[in-house]
Each structure stands twice: as structure tokens, then as C-alpha cells.
Structure 1
Amino acid sequence: MLQDICTFVGAVVLNFCRVTGQMMLLFLDTLSKVREVSIKEMLRQMALLGADSLPIVLLTMLCTGMVFSVQTAKEFVALGASGTVGGIVAIAMGRELVPVLTGVVVAGRIGAAIAAELGTMKVTEQIDALRVMATSPVQYLVVPRFLAIAMMMPVLVVFGNFIGNAGGYFVAHYYADIGSMTYLNSIRQLCVTFDVVGGMIKGVVFGAIISIVGCFKGLNAKQGAEGVGLATTASVVLSIILIFIFDYFLTVLLYVDK
């Protein structure tokens, strides 16, 4: 019994180390080939992976800002702190809610798409065909997607901040009767530029995670439709887990003692 448990734990640890090492090697290989990226392909991926994600990101952030404002506005007014509602909503959206939820939304939409696309290419031997033609799959497939998501995530974060704060303002003004100038002044008094810039930095990191994990799972998909499905599911789950883990360390690095 004890031997079986040790064997299982050892296998899990070894598999974790193997997968982590392989993803790090893919990440380093991607960075080494960044200068060789096809600009045309990168721009196409930016449109497909970034611009097309904007509507769902805006809808998510609008609802998030409105809900957060609903949860805080009335209580703050009752405590006589209505002059801080706008700032609290803006700080929470800029530092945490917008980058994290944008990362989760993009992981669900784009991470799954990347893993499914590259997984299908893997099982239909298109990846092998690229190697036969002396074309690096990392340079041709991974690098454009990596740069596209890493560059578009901060843009999505900026738009998400704007629409999220607009939703928070709408609810605070029409639901809690907080004046427009009171709401806007609290943002100016409590928020600093780095509240948004830090969220954009998180967006870059989350975008890199989503692209590397999606590409890794796709390039290592097992044969058959089931293998592609498992790779897609694993890509989304692992990306979201890593986003939350990295969010903690980035928050400590960027905001604690600042």
C-alpha cells in the first residue's frame, strides 16, 4: 500500500517536472525566434486572437463593474463614504478584476482555439510536414500567436478598464444616487496611473501564459479526435490555474509596499 502511494506520488512529481521543463524550453525557444516572426502572420493573429475577443471582454467587464458597484455603493453611502466609491471600483478593476477576468475569458476562448488548431495539425501530421520542409513549427506557428496575444492583452485590459468603470459609474449614479463629480473626483484622488499600468503588465504575462500553454498542449496532442479534445480542455484548465498563481506573485511584486 505504502509502496503504491509512493509510486503514484513519484510519478506525479516526475510528470510535473517533465511538463514544466518542456514548457520552459518551448518558451525559451519562442523568445529566441521572436526576431524572425512574420509581421503579416502576426497581424493576422492579432486580429483573430485579440480584436475578435473584444466584444466578450467588454461585456464581461461591463457586467463586472456594474455588479461590483452594486455590492459596494449602498454600503459605502450608508457609512458616509460615498466619496470613495469611484476610487475603490477603479482600483479593484484596474489592479485585479480586469486583468484576471480578461485572462480567464481569453484563456477560455483563445487558449482553447490555439490548442484545438495546433492539435488538429498535429494529429493530421501537418506539423511533421512543416519539419520535412525545413520550417520550424515554433517559428511558423508559436511565435506569431505568442506575440499577438502578448501585445493585444494590454489593449483588452485598457478597454476593459474603461467599460468596467463606466458600468460602475452608471450603477453608482442611478442606483445609489452618487453624484457624477463625486464619483469622478474619488477616482482622481485615490487612483494613480500605475493602478492601470500594473494591470497591463499582468495582461502581458497572462497573454504569454495562455499562448505558451495552448501551443504546448496543441503540439503535444495525442492522436485522434479524443486527443485534441483532451488537449483543448487541459489547455484551458492549466492556463486559468497558472493565471491565478502568477496573479498572486505579480500583485506582491507590483503593488505591495508601493
Structure 2
Amino acid sequence: MLPAAEFVERPSVRRVIRKNVSDTAVSALRTFGRAVELGCHSAIGAVGDIARRRFQWRETLFQGWYFVSVTALPAILMAIPFGVIVSVQVGNLIHQLGADSLIGAAGGLGVIKQGAPVATGLLLGGAGAAAIGADLGARTIREEIDALRVMGVDPVHRLVIPRVVAMVLIAPLLNILIIFVGVTAGYLVAVTAQGVTSGSYWLTFGSFTVVADVFVSLAKSALFGLLVAVIACQRGLEAKGGPRGVADGVNAAVVLSVVALVLVNLAITQLTAMFLPVRLA
């Protein structure tokens, strides 16, 4: 026989667990809704500001240069080992099958279709999201955002839209840089260490990698930049609780950005595999 106290306690524990789960789910849905609303507001507001010649070009250029300065060197350092790893690992497998000339195709497809956009998103989600979340979070706890609203200035048009546009524009450029460095590193390893001729490498690279793959890669990187910017701006504008709240907002921005990138990349990969399968050019 169990004590009577346990019969009283168990239902309360179930209720607490049920309430916590339901509150978490509802809070997640509300956060997702606010993020979608902020993204739509930013997209529509950017078009309207450009049409009315009120777009914050100076702030956009400043933010864009900052994103480039903090991500360009890490992008190169990430692209080199990625291209080398793809070339070595795939090259060893292809060498066992007696098709060494296909290393160019494997390297090109791996870097362009997956490596470059994912690396771009991770870099922007790390350095870019942290910078945006910290900046807007500090402004929020210092009540600068409230002061802008009191003066009749919309923080979305003044602060959010320039950062979103800057990241969307910088993401494809960073993607191109990673593609160039990654493919070059894979080519050098294949030619110097694996005995692949230069002509066969580029021949298979051009045969399997079509222009549509490059456009999909650029589109994915721009979409990842949009997701990162919107999530980071939302967490920064909703920061509260002093410096601890800013730190929590930055951590949430980075984590949510990475999770969103992984899920969206999975969905896009499935769609492109259905409608744009790998084929000879």
C-alpha cells in the first residue's frame, strides 16, 4: 500500500508537467508567429523605404561591411579543410571503384550544393546573429528602442531592415567565396596528392555541376541570411532583464538560427532532389 500523500501528489505532478509542456508549446508558436510577422514587416518595409527614398543606405553599408569583416577570414579557413576533406574522403572511395576522374564531380557537388550554403549560414548564424542580438539587446535594455518609439521612429525601419538587407546581400557573396576556395582546395589535393589529371577533374566538374546548382546554392545562402537576421533581430528586440537578458538573447539567437538553418536546409535538399536531380550537363 502506498501512502495517501503519494496519491495526492501524483496528479499534481502530472498537472505541472502537462502545464509546462503546453505553455512551452504555446510560447514557441507565439515566438514563431512574431518572427514571421517581423520578417514580413521587414520585407514590405524595405520595398516601401526604397520606393519612398527613405531607406537607411548608410546603416546598411556599415552593417554589411561589418559582416564581411567578421566572416570573410573564417569562411576561407572553413572552406579549405572542407574542400580537402570532400576530395580525400570521396576520392578514396572513388579510387576503389576505379573512377578517379569523378573526384571533380563529387567535390563540386559537395561544396556547391551543401558545403557552401551551410557554411555560410553557420558563419552568419554565429558571428552575425551574435552581433545583431548583442547590439539590439543592449539598445533594448537601455530603453533606446522605447525612446525611438516615443519620438515616432519605427525601430524596424531604422534598425532591423538595414541589418536584414545587409545580411541578405552579404550571404551570396560569402557563399561565392566559400565555393571558390573550397573547389580550389579540392582541386589542388586531387591533382597533387591523388594523381588526378587537371583536365579530367574540370571535365567531370562541369559535366555534373550545372548552372541551376549554383543558383540554388546562392538562393539558399540568401534565405539563410534572411532567417538569421530576422531571428537575431527578434531576440534582440525582446531582450529583458539587464545584461543577463542580453546574454540569453544572444545565445537564443545563435541556437535558434542554427536549428532553423538545419531544418530549412533539409527541406530544400529534399525539394531540389525531387525537381533538380543530379544529371549530366
Aligned residue in 2 for 1:122: 140
Report how many residues are paired: 258
TM-align CA RMSD? 1.2
Aligned residue in 2 for 1:64: 82
Aligned residue in 2 for 1:220: 238
CA distance in structure 2 between the partners assigned to 1:207 and 1:39 by the alignment? 18
CA distance in structure 1 between the partners assigned to 2:60 and 2:272 by the alignment? 29
TM-score w.r.t. the length of structure 1 is 0.96
Contact 1:103–1:206 at 8 Å: present in 2 too? Answer: yes
Larger relative contact order (CA 8 Å, sep ≥ 6): 1
Aligned residue in 2 for 1:208: 226
Q: CA deviation at 1:194?
A: 1.2
Contact 2:72–2:174 at 8 Å: present in 1 too? Answer: yes
Q: CA deviation at 1:52?
A: 4.0
Tell me, what secondary structure is at the counterpart of 1:120? helix
1:188 aligns with 2:206: yes
Equivalent of residue 77 in structure 1, options 77, 95, 108: 95
Aligned residue in 2 for 1:24: 36
CA distance in structure 2 between the partners assigned to 1:162 and 1:176 by the alignment? 20
Equivalent of residue 231 in structure 1, options 249, 252, 266: 249
Q: CA deviation at 1:106?
A: 1.3
Tell me, what secondary structure is at the counterpart of 2:275? coil
Map 1:25-174 onto structure 2 (within 5 A).
25-35=37-47, 36=49, 37-174=55-192
Equivalent of residue 5 in structure 1, options 17, 28, 37: 17
1:198 aligns with 2:210: no
Q: Where in structure 1 are there 5+ consecutive unaligned residues?
A: none
Q: CA deviation at 1:51?
A: 4.9
Q: CA deviation at 1:130?
A: 1.1
Contact 1:89–1:168 at 8 Å: present in 2 too? Answer: yes
| 98-107 or 73-82, which deviates more | 73-82
Q: Where in structure 2 are there 5+ consecutive unaligned residues?
A: 1-12, 50-54, 277-281
Identical-residue share of aligned pairs (%): 29
| 163-172 or 73-82, which deviates more | 73-82
Q: CA deviation at 1:255?
A: 3.4
CA distance in structure 2 between the partners assigned to 1:5 and 1:133 by the alignment? 44
TM-score w.r.t. the length of structure 2 is 0.89
